Amino acid sequence: MFVMVNLLAHVGPTARKVSPRPGGLDAGPLVRTGRIWRRVRRALLVATPLAALAACTVGPAYRAPATPAPGAYLERTDGITGAPPDLTAWWARFDDPTLTSLVRRALAGNLDVAAAVSNIRAARQQEVIAGAQGLPQLDASANASNTLLSKNAGFAQLAGAFLGGGTGGLGTQGVGFPGTNFSTYSAGFDASWELDLFGQVRRSVEAARGRAEAQIWSLRDTEVSTAAEVAVDYLTLRSLQRQIAVAEHEVQRRQQLLDLVQSRRAAGLATRIDVSQQQVSLSAALSQTPVLEAEARAEIHALGVLLGEPPEALSAELTPVAAVPPPPPAVPVGLPSELLRRRPDIREAERNLAAATADVGVAVADLYPNINLTGSADLISTSLSNIVAVNSLQTAATAALVQTLFDGGRRRANVHVYEEHRKQAYYAYEKTVLGALKEVEDGLSRYGGERRRNALLRTQVQAAEAAYQMSGDRYKAGLSDFINVLNAEGAVLDAETQLAQSDGQLDEDLVSLYKALGGGWSGESGNR
């Protein structure tokens, strides 16, 4: 609802001059200005009963949805506990200083995080804009103009008959004759404000505040994703370096076996086929290293970009080989009900729902009348010397009530549109909750499955190493064909490679679980 009062002080054309009071001070305009203010106050008294309606805020009141959550997670495995987790800096659980450093630097320099911070600042300014609609607005103005009346206007004789003046300058009553050239001066101010009778401004502020809070949770969700992505890339890098080490060790072993076969061939104890087969086996092991090295460099490049730096910036820091950090022995996950409060994307969706509910109130308030009160006080003169004079004062006051009687259903349709937007926001919130619960259950399932697979692979590696040792001994003793050595050799490489991959996958699954639990943000992340 709109209530406006304009208080204008202008300098413009006038016909008469008023002599100043003794002492050179003309108090007339001050007296008349006081009268204008009294008129304005009377207009405000008319608006006072309307202002009592300001407590009326139309539209639906927001209530946070009560979403039921399971009592516990279905997927449980060894190492998982239901204790309340502290996920603020979950990466520290890997006890790897390099990983901790990379995550902290990424949260400070990542460009997605920077963009999310910028979105918060913009949303807060939108809140200021919404609130400004209910505050007074003051404008100041000053201008000067020059007017030359047309000599061919057609009313020169009529003006002369009524005013009896000549053709030069202004007539005695202040009417300009054709051909007259005169200046007009003005200076003043306007004041206006919107009276929020039905809560339209309050609902607008409520909607803007909800969206600003949603942007804060969006930043926290970006931090969760950034920390998880850094950890996954880093752990993948260490896993690849482990696989490279396995491949290089296997190359050395196959080279040693090739040397042995060639020696036996020289002594007539092995065939040329044995030598050729071992050369093929060595070449196969050598061919794995370049691919793994290229993938490792790609991970280093990805980490550099995640930190907001050039791709090659971390090469010197991360190229040296380091061990794959082991997962912590116990992983507390808490209860599903805690997840609804901790996941930033759920909190963001809830704030968007609150904003959409407030938007409905803004649309409903548009169905009610607009109340406009306007007042003006002008000082108008053609001379700067008598601007501040009683005869330069011009006043006007207007009161208007505007109610749209027919708009083809546009405003009511607009209300229905925002009601549908509110429903869509609710559906998005429910979907986010269900998706979060699914991600945690999936994460628990994958982590538990990989733990079991990892234990089996360790047993497999031990068995493969023992089989390779026995086949080698039997071959040296002439009790077995060389093909058995080759098979055992391939089994060892395959088992060790799978174990190295599983160690990395186990860490990655744990990172995904931490991300699904909403870990990686702190309460200070929204105060940027």
pLDDT tens figures, 306-356? 999 999 999 999 999 999 999 888 888 988 989 999 999 999 999 999 999
Query: Which of residues 516 and 488 earns the better pLDDT score?
Result: 516
CA distances from 525 to 215, 340, 401 (A): 11, 19, 48
The share of the chain scoring above pLDDT 70, in percent, equals: 84
Q: Give the model's confidence band at 364: pLDDT under 50 very low, under 70 low, under 90 confident, else very high.
A: very high
Look at residue 260 in the predicted model and tell me its pLDDT.
85
Look at residue 410 in the predicted model and tell me its pLDDT.
95
Q: Which residues lie closer than 8 Å to 219 by C-beta, 6 or more apart? A: 113, 116, 117, 119, 120, 525, 526, 528
Contacts 24+ apart (CB under 8 A), 253-258: 253/489, 254/278, 254/281, 254/282, 254/285, 254/489, 255/282, 257/281, 257/472, 257/485, 257/489, 258/282
Per-residue pLDDT reduced to its tens digit, 226-237? 999 999 999 999
28 pLDDT above the threshold of 50: no
On whether the CB atoms of residues 324 and 235 are closer than 8 A, the answer is: yes
Per-residue pLDDT reduced to its tens digit, 108-166? 999 999 999 999 999 999 999 999 988 887 777 777 888 787 777 555 444 554 444 44
Look at residue 278 in the predicted model and tell me its pLDDT.
87
Phi-psi region of 199 (alpha: psi -120 to 50; beta: other; left: phi over 0): left
433 pLDDT above the threshold of 70: yes
Per-residue pLDDT reduced to its tens digit, 370-427? 777 777 777 778 787 887 878 877 777 777 788 889 999 999 999 999 999 999 999 9
Look at residue 345 in the predicted model and tell me its pLDDT.
96
Among 133-142, 431-440, 512-521, the minimum mean pLDDT is found in 133-142
248 pLDDT above the threshold of 70: yes
Look at residue 181 in the predicted model and tell me its pLDDT.
77
Query: Which of residues 294 and 16 earns the better pLDDT score?
Result: 294
On whether the CB atoms of residues 430 and 416 are closer than 8 A, the answer is: no
Give the DSSP H/E element, type plus range, for residue 29: helix 28-51
- Segment 49-68 shows an average pLDDT of 76
Query: Which of residues 511 and 384 earns the better pLDDT score?
Result: 511
- Residue 263 CA to chain centroid, in angstroms? 68
Among 238-247, 367-376, 430-439, 455-464, the minimum mean pLDDT is found in 367-376
452 pLDDT above the threshold of 50: yes
Q: Which residues lie closer than 8 Å to 47 by C-beta, 6 or more apart? A: 3, 195, 371, 373
Residue type, 23: G
Look at residue 400 in the predicted model and tell me its pLDDT.
74
Out of 48-62, 304-318, 481-495, the most confident range is: 304-318
Among 21-35, 42-56, 238-252, the minimum mean pLDDT is found in 21-35
- The residue with tokens 């349709």 is 413
Q: Which two tokens stand for residue 160?
A: 């002369």
Look at residue 32 in the predicted model and tell me its pLDDT.
45
Beta bridge partners of 402: 370
The pTM score is 0.79
212 pLDDT above the threshold of 80: yes
Look at residue 40 in the predicted model and tell me its pLDDT.
45
- Give CATH 1.20.1600.10 domain extents, the chain: 28-58+93-134+188-320+341-526
Residue-by-residue DSSP string for 471-506 = HHHHHHTTSS-HHHHHHHHHHHHHHHHHHHHHHHHH
The whole-chain average pLDDT of the chain stands at 83
The answer to whether domain 28-58+93-134+188-320+341-526 has CATH 1.10.760.10 is no
